Amino acid sequence: MARSLQYCTFWVDGLFFGVEVSGVQEVLRYQPLTVVPSAPEAVQGLINLRGQIVTALDLRCRLGLPPRPEDALPMNVIVRSRGEVVSLLVDDIGDVITVDTSPGGLEIEPTPANVPSTVQDVVSGVLALPDAILLVLDADRAADVSVVPQPTGGTP
Amino acid sequence: MDDDAEIIAEFLVESHENLDQLDRDLVDLERDPGSRELLSSIFRTIHTIKGTSGFLAFNRLEALTHVGENLLSRLRDGQMEMTGPVTESLLSMVDTVRALLESVEASGNDTAAAVDVDTVVNTLRQVLEGAEGPSPAAEEPAEDRARPDAAEPTPVVEASAEPVSDPVEEPEEALVEPAREDDVDEVADHAAGGVVAEVGDAGLVEAAELDAGEPERVHPKLGEILVERGIVSSADIEEALAEQSAADQGDDTARRGVVDSSVRVDVDLLDSLVQLVGELVLTRNQVLQRTESQDDIELVRAAQRLDLVASELQEGIMKTRMQPIGQVWSKMPRVVRDLAVQLGREVDLQMEGHDTELDRSLLEALKGPLTHLVRNALDHGIETPADRTAAGKSAQGRLLLRSFHESGQVVIEISDDGKGIDPDVIARVAIERGVITRDQAARMETREIVNLIFRPGFSTAAEVTNVSGRGVGMDVVRTNIERIGGTVDMQSQVGVGTTCRVRIPLTLAIIPALVIGEGEETYAIPQANLVELVRLEAEDMTRNVEEVAGAPVLRLRGHLLPLVSMAEVLGRTRPEADALTVVVVQADDMRFGICVDKVHDTQEIVVKPIGRQLKLLPTYAGATIMGDGRVALILDVPGIAHAHAIAQQSAAASRPADGVVAGAADSTALLVLEVGGQRAALPLREVSRLEEFTLDRIEKSGNAEAVQYRDGILPLVRLAGAIGLVERVRDDDQVSVVVHESGATRIGIVIDRVLDVVDAAVVRSDVGRRAGVLGSAVIGDRVTDLVDLDAVVALSGVGA
């Protein structure tokens, strides 16, 4: 039986990522953000997704990549992670690609060891497509942003 | 009886649902006789009905289901085979159960003579004993069968109403003979009330056998048979006919009353509806904003209609989540009765406002605290009959539970006419326990003192309970009520009684909040935390806002209020400003001010959860969506208090959630100072102002020192000398003075310098106790003397 997986693809700082479509709720253009002061750095803000409040995480920041140019507006990849909906801010959206994963087809390979650890951290493996290398994103790990204790700025 | 009726209604709704399921299961079972799963399901259903009917004292129903259950358990365990007669006996049992339930619904009991339980029970027994088979009656030739009647089934039903009221001498004969399965089914289908279903069922049992032999026979109406046999007269039949057709219609409406008028809905579905409506309301707000500037009159009208419909829809949906408080109260009579017996009290429990509704999640959260308060009222409020008689009251105590709506909140009052709470005792004990200082106690109003029983430091101490007469765990009651945004307040009059008043919001999903602006951002502060708004400009600001060791405090009506700016709350640096808008908020026992840029207005906001990435931040309680569609964060006032200067780690440690430290008192705001080179502390609330004077301003009058201060004389007392220390000479020609006001008396206490303002749980020890010093405590990791302000003031000879 032929097995195949579909990936929703996107670019972050020139890197080509894919996340399984079953975990993706939708893709949205830039949405106005409400900043959350003292939140972890990767949290860019909150968006109003038809009445639901969704945390927007900047993948560039999460991956330890340089910040997006000021004039470039990010796109939202809305993914489901552990019962919550999270928006991943990416540079640009690619196609949905179908990968044949049946025996003889493509296999997810371990991430090459020389990829920066910040990227490895959120990638579950790579798919060597004929024309590109797709980094398979683990949405749960990408959405995990530990809270860095913030200076409260208070006096004694 | 009200409560019983409610329980019975619930039982009926549930049982009817179960019976429908049962019918389906039984039919399936016939197709698949070996299915253990189906048998288990049927067994469970009957078992449930049996259990509940036993509990509600429906003895006949219980007896019937009991036999049925026995049969089912043997079938389930494979001790019996599923055969046609067995299925039919089970079906007849189900129908009889239904008939009994209808009788319960109509009359509130299951004793209706019309329902013949015994026959069915006997049949079931026979089946159970393996003695089933054609009954003798079935063999009787049925020569009476005369007229075809298939077209008119209804009269068959109706006629049967009469005979069943006195169980017919030969019921099996009368019923079984003419019955064909079809007929029986028709009878059952058209059954109005339990009567007919029962009649039909008795016949069902043996119908199968009869049928086989005489398939082509036509059957007469039941009524006609009965008449012919002389069991009833034809006049009776006519009468019954009329009655039945009337009853038929009446019955339908009556039944809808309980069973058909309610539908069970998944709570998740309701929650998602609430969410959708919230969204609709927000969209409506956006549409309204846009259409205001439009000329298109049709569009404006449509928008207005949308506005109305959305509001009504919202109201309606919110109502679906509402449940009457009677659900909680229905448990109370039992609690009160048991406890009264146990404690030897006589109690007359009265409850008002059963129908007061509130959100179901709130209701759930309230059960515990309310039960606790009721127990407390009995345990410590109402006296024993002997004591009551001695006090000139009636032996029977009165406990009143009331609930009602008041200004958008639900108020629940629990009042007793017991011995009340003696504030003097409470105050004494609170001082002993170090919950408050003597000085604080003297300043507190009676009501404040009574409410000390809700302090954690107070109520965890067992011996306090015995003295004060109020229970352990009141702090937990308060914590639980505050968790759902409520408040609790105790009022008491010694010898007359105590009233505990709990206020809770109608719903948690939508709360009133103050919307404030900080730069371009918008935040919401829940109204429940809001105390007042203070605006300070230019001169007012410089006069009333001071800094204590870098921490800004506001002098507000004689007390110092710690201030924190929005910028600080948000982790930025505090800006300089020439005017201040202070939102005075209260969290737990702490009151402080948040300086904000702008105050917009108060709004009803829909509280929405925020993602797990932000849950750990103490600053935010959630988020909401404003009219323009943008997200605004809701500030968590207690969280801010604990995260910032207002409450330090030491205070946090005394929070109930973190486990109450043995003997720990509630946290108190303290002014920590240096005097004679040592650390000492004063309660911050005793400090009305901090001043620095140059030495040359100090004048002498006899031995006493004073300064001219605010058009008066401020007598000075040197704290070092007063508490047995040697004063240090400062090299800058300045003295630091703590101004203390008590009534008309004002005194300046000269100290070396101010070190800090902390909020700490003070555990006092007697180390260092001496004149002017109450003892010492560890404050900010160092041993600090606790100044006995009263003694120091007395020493100065001022006002004492």
Mean pLDDT of the region B10-36: 76
Residues A104 and B334: their CA atoms lie apart, in Å, by 72
What b/e string do you get for B660-683 counting C-beta neighbours within 10 Å, with b at 16 or more? beeebbbbbbbbbbbbbebbbbbb
Q: For position B2, what pLDDT does the model report? A: 53
Whether A40 contacts chain B with CB within 8 A: yes
Cβ atoms within 10 Å, residue B256? 11
Verify whether the Cβ–Cβ distance B617 to A86 is below 8 Å.
Answer: no
Whether A150 contacts chain B with CB within 8 A: yes
Residues B363 and B331: their CA atoms lie apart, in Å, by 13
- Is there a contact between B623 and B423 (Cβ–Cβ < 8 Å)? no
Verify whether the Cβ–Cβ distance B633 to A36 is below 8 Å.
Answer: yes
pLDDT reading at B540 higher than 70: yes
- Is there a contact between B436 and B454 (Cβ–Cβ < 8 Å)? no
**Minimal C-alpha gap between A23 and chain B (Å):** 17
Place of tokens 């025996």: A103
* Residue A153 pLDDT class (50, 70, 90 cuts): very low
* Residue A16 pLDDT class (50, 70, 90 cuts): very high
CA B416 vs CA B347, B449, B566: distances in Å: 10, 19, 45
**Minimal C-alpha gap between A56 and chain B (Å):** 10
Verify whether the Cβ–Cβ distance A55 to B611 is below 8 Å.
Answer: yes
Place of tokens 């449509």: B302
Mean pLDDT of the region B153-168: 40
Q: How many residues does chain A have?
A: 156
Residues of chain A with Cβ-Cβ distance to B571 below 8 Å are 37-38, 150-153
Q: Which of B421, B412, B426, B311 is nearest to B371 (CA)?
A: B412
Question: Strands across the sheet with B753-761, in order?
Answer: B753-761, B667-675, B678-683, B782-787, B773-779
Residue type, B143: E
* B479-515 confidence digits (pLDDT tens): 778 777 777 888 888 888 889 988 887 666 667 789 9
Verify whether the Cβ–Cβ distance A53 to B279 is below 8 Å.
Answer: no
pLDDT reading at A87 higher than 90: yes
Residues of chain B with Cβ-Cβ distance to A48 below 8 Å are 625, 629-631
Which of A38, A84, A155 is closest, CB to CB, to B611? A84
Q: For position A47, what pLDDT does the model report? A: 92
* CB hemisphere CA count around A65 (13 angstroms): 19
Verify whether the Cβ–Cβ distance A54 to B611 is below 8 Å.
Answer: yes
**Minimal C-alpha gap between A52 and chain B (Å):** 8
* Residue B407 pLDDT class (50, 70, 90 cuts): low
Q: For position B662, what pLDDT does the model report? A: 32
Whether A104 contacts chain B with CB within 8 A: no
Residue, of B778 and B147, whose pLDDT is higher: B778
Verify whether the Cβ–Cβ distance B644 to A152 is below 8 Å.
Answer: yes
Whether A112 contacts chain B with CB within 8 A: no
Verify whether the Cβ–Cβ distance A34 to B631 is below 8 Å.
Answer: yes
pLDDT reading at A77 higher than 90: yes
Closest residue of A to B672, CA-based? A156
Residue, of A134 and B293, whose pLDDT is higher: A134
Cβ atoms within 10 Å, residue A30? 12
Residues B352 and B468: their CA atoms lie apart, in Å, by 29
Q: Where are the alpha helices (DSSP H) in B436-473?
A: 438-443, 446-450, 456-459, 462-468
Pairing type for strands A75-81 and B631-635 reads: unpaired
Place of tokens 């013949």: B116
Which of A82, A153, A156 is closest, CB to CB, to B572? A153
CA B438 vs CA B170, B402, B443, B509, B788: distances in Å: 89, 36, 9, 42, 9
Structure tokens of B81? 């085979």
Q: How many residues does chain B have?
A: 800
Q: For position B217, what pLDDT does the model report? A: 45
Which of B573, B619, B630 is closest, CB to CB, to A34? B630
Mutate which: A25, A33, A34, A35, vs B, most B CBs within 10 A: A34
- Is there a contact between A87 and A35 (Cβ–Cβ < 8 Å)? no
Which of A43, A48, A156 is closest, CB to CB, to B551? A156
Phi, psi of B665 (to 5 degrees): -95, 170
Count of pairs with CB atoms under 8 A, one residue in A, one in B: 103
pLDDT reading at A85 higher than 70: yes
Angle at B64 between CA B63 and CA B66, to 5 degrees: 65
Which range is least confidently modeled, A139-143, B405-409, B743-747? Answer: B405-409
Q: Which of B536, B408, B426, B519 is nearest to B471 (CA)?
A: B426
Whether A149 contacts chain B with CB within 8 A: no
Verify whether the Cβ–Cβ distance B623 to A53 is below 8 Å.
Answer: yes
Residues of chain B with Cβ-Cβ distance to A59 below 8 Å are none
3-state secondary structure of A152: coil
Q: For position A146, what pLDDT does the model report? A: 62
Contacts of B710 (CB under 8 A, 6+ apart): none
Residue, of B446 and B736, whose pLDDT is higher: B736
Q: For position B515, what pLDDT does the model report? A: 92
Mean pLDDT of the region B409-419: 87
| DSSP 8-state class, residue B529 | G
Residues of chain B with Cβ-Cβ distance to A36 below 8 Å are 614, 617, 620, 633
* CA of residue B70 relative to chain centroid, distance: 41
Whether A46 contacts chain B with CB within 8 A: yes
Report chain B's mean pLDDT, rounded to a whole number: 73
Max Cα–Cα distance, chain B, nearest Å: 133
How would DSSP label each residue in B208-263? HHHHHH-TT-----HHHHHHHTTSS-HHHHHHHHHHHHHHHHHHHHHHIIIIIS--
Mutate which: B564, B616, B631, B672, vs A, most A CBs within 10 A: B631
Q: For position B249, what pLDDT does the model report? A: 52
Which of A34, A84, A155 is closest, CB to CB, to B551? A155
Whether A151 contacts chain B with CB within 8 A: yes
Q: For position B223, what pLDDT does the model report? A: 53
Whether A142 contacts chain B with CB within 8 A: no
% of chain B surpassing 90 pLDDT: 2
| DSSP 8-state class, residue A110 | P
Verify whether the Cβ–Cβ distance A38 to B619 is below 8 Å.
Answer: yes
- Is there a contact between B630 and A48 (Cβ–Cβ < 8 Å)? yes
Residues of chain A with Cβ-Cβ distance to B626 below 8 Å are none
3-state secondary structure of B692: strand
* Residue A75 pLDDT class (50, 70, 90 cuts): very high
Residues B241 and B29: their CA atoms lie apart, in Å, by 37
Contacts of A69 (CB under 8 A, 6+ apart): none
Verify whether the Cβ–Cβ distance A34 to B550 is below 8 Å.
Answer: no
pLDDT reading at A79 higher than 90: yes
Structure tokens of B335? 């609690």
pLDDT reading at B186 higher than 50: no
- Is there a contact between B611 and A36 (Cβ–Cβ < 8 Å)? no
Residues B397 and B758: their CA atoms lie apart, in Å, by 47
3-state secondary structure of A149: coil
Verify whether the Cβ–Cβ distance B613 to A57 is below 8 Å.
Answer: yes
* Residue B469 pLDDT class (50, 70, 90 cuts): very low
Residues B402 and B560: their CA atoms lie apart, in Å, by 39
Verify whether the Cβ–Cβ distance B631 to A52 is below 8 Å.
Answer: no
Residues of chain B with Cβ-Cβ distance to A86 below 8 Å are 611, 613
* B245-273 confidence digits (pLDDT tens): 555 554 444 445 555 677 778 878 887 88
Q: Which of B481, B535, B484 is nearest to B507 (CA)?
A: B484
pLDDT reading at B231 higher than 80: no
Residues B566 and B516: their CA atoms lie apart, in Å, by 10
Question: Strands across the sheet with B620-625, in order?
Answer: B598-606, B510-518, B521-526, B631-635, B620-625
Whether A143 contacts chain B with CB within 8 A: yes
Residues B789 and B244: their CA atoms lie apart, in Å, by 89
CA B781 vs CA A51, B664, B720, B778, B784: distances in Å: 48, 16, 22, 6, 9
Residues of chain B with Cβ-Cβ distance to A87 below 8 Å are none
Phi, psi of B640 (to 5 degrees): -65, -45
Angle at B776 between CA B770 and CA B782, to 5 degrees: 140
Q: Is the dihedral of CA B69, B72, B73, B74 positive or negative?
A: positive
Q: Which helix (H) or strand (E) holds B675?
A: strand B667-675
Instruction: Reduce the secondary structure of B586-635 to three states and give it as a string.
Output: EECCEEEEEEECEEEEEEEEECECCCHHHHCCCCEEEEEECCCCCEEEEE
Mean pLDDT of the region B194-217: 40
Which stretch, A12-16, B36-40, B113-117, B236-240, has highest mean pLDDT?
Answer: A12-16
Structure tokens of B785? 């003397």
Structure tokens of A136? 């398979």
Residue type, B309: V
Closest residue of A to B572, CA-based? A153
| Residues belonging to chain B with any Cβ–Cβ distance to chain A shorter than 8 Å | 275-276, 278-279, 282, 521, 549-551, 564, 567-568, 570-574, 608-614, 616-617, 619-620, 623, 625, 629-633, 643-645, 648, 756-758
| DSSP 8-state class, residue B770 | B
The rounded radius of gyration (Å) of the Cα atoms in chain A is 17
Residues B154 and B159: their CA atoms lie apart, in Å, by 9
Structure tokens of A35? 């900043």
Contacts of B756 (CB under 8 A, 6+ apart): A156, B548, B549, B671, B672, B780
Residue, of A72 and B81, whose pLDDT is higher: A72
Residues of chain A with Cβ-Cβ distance to B619 below 8 Å are 37-38
**Minimal C-alpha gap between B723 and chain A (Å):** 27
